[in-house]
A and B are shown apart, each in its own frame.
Chain A
Amino acid sequence: MVAAPAFLANPERFMAFSRWAAPMFGIIAAVLGIAGLYLGWTAPDDYQQGATVRIMFIHVPAAWMSLFVYFCLGVASLLALVFRHVLADAAAQAAAPLGAGFTFLALVTGSLWGRPMWGAWWVWDARLTSVLVLFLFYIAYIALRASIDDEAKAGRAAAILALVGLVNLPIVHFSVDWWNTLHQGASVFRLGGPTLATVYLWPLLLMGLAYMAAFGSLWLVRIRGEVWRRRAEAAVLRAARA
């Protein structure tokens, strides 16, 4: 487990690996996504929620990814701060827009699910509010990086902000246990096993893996773009000094 990050810490090795890994993850995401959607749409309506249960297959994986991507952003930021590793900084920068996208999806699809089930588009309960705070951390990270011209200073400032935001992850996860919320409790990743019916659990897990593979593919593509951007700007600087 330790060998993989060390192997990929070398930019040349990372570029060689990601060249084939990015499209491969993309293909895996497409196959799993098609299978998950097929199983999800052929599953029977829920006895309480009716056909709105189909929103679960796109909402819950987006919510999982919003937390997972922020965790990746935090780890990459920590590595960039401690070791001043350029690739870790590029990985953190590349993860932020993807995480913001997943969190936006979790909020919007959750609202579209909440309206027919709760009778409200939005409620200020602990889960929804903490996810909104997570989204604001992503936006603040992106804005902070963009607002400082010096790339090294921008990376350090944004990394510190990302580490502060890690505190919010357990709050999001345990909010449904710590406070009385309208949002339901955990039904998949919980002690004692999932409470979800198998007919919904399988398509949900397939969609979760599809979202994970899609993130893997897009993250690699964006990191590659960052590596090229830094190489291009370094080449321009070298030419200007010559």
Chain B
Amino acid sequence: MADLSGGKYAAYIWPAYGVTALVFAGLIVSSLWHARRWRGRARRSGGR
């Protein structure tokens, strides 16, 4: 079974996983937003 408590080091382990999740979420959202934004503009301006 997975031990999710982290024991006495939880104060270091969970922030490390938290910041990793946040950075990944930021990279995913910004990448998709950037692509969607410019795809829309390219189509509206006739740039395919």
Contact = CB atoms under 8 A, between A and B. Distances in A.
A236 interface: yes
B45 A232 contact: yes
B35 A109 contact: no
A59 B16 CA distance: 8
A45 interface: yes
| Chain A: interface size category | 35 or more
Interface residues of A: mostly helix, strand, loop or mixed?
helix
A119 to B, nearest CB: 12
Contacts of A185: none
Interface string A135-166: 00000000000000000000000000000000
24 contacts: A41-B3, A51-B3, A51-B6, A51-B8, A52-B9, A52-B12, A52-B13, A54-B6, A54-B13, A58-B20, A98-B31, A101-B23, A108-B16, A109-B19, A112-B12, A218-B27, A218-B28, A225-B38, A228-B35, A231-B42, A231-B47, A232-B45, A232-B47, A235-B42
Interface of B: 1-10, 12-13, 15-17, 19-20, 23-24, 26-28, 30-32, 34-39, 41-42, 44-48
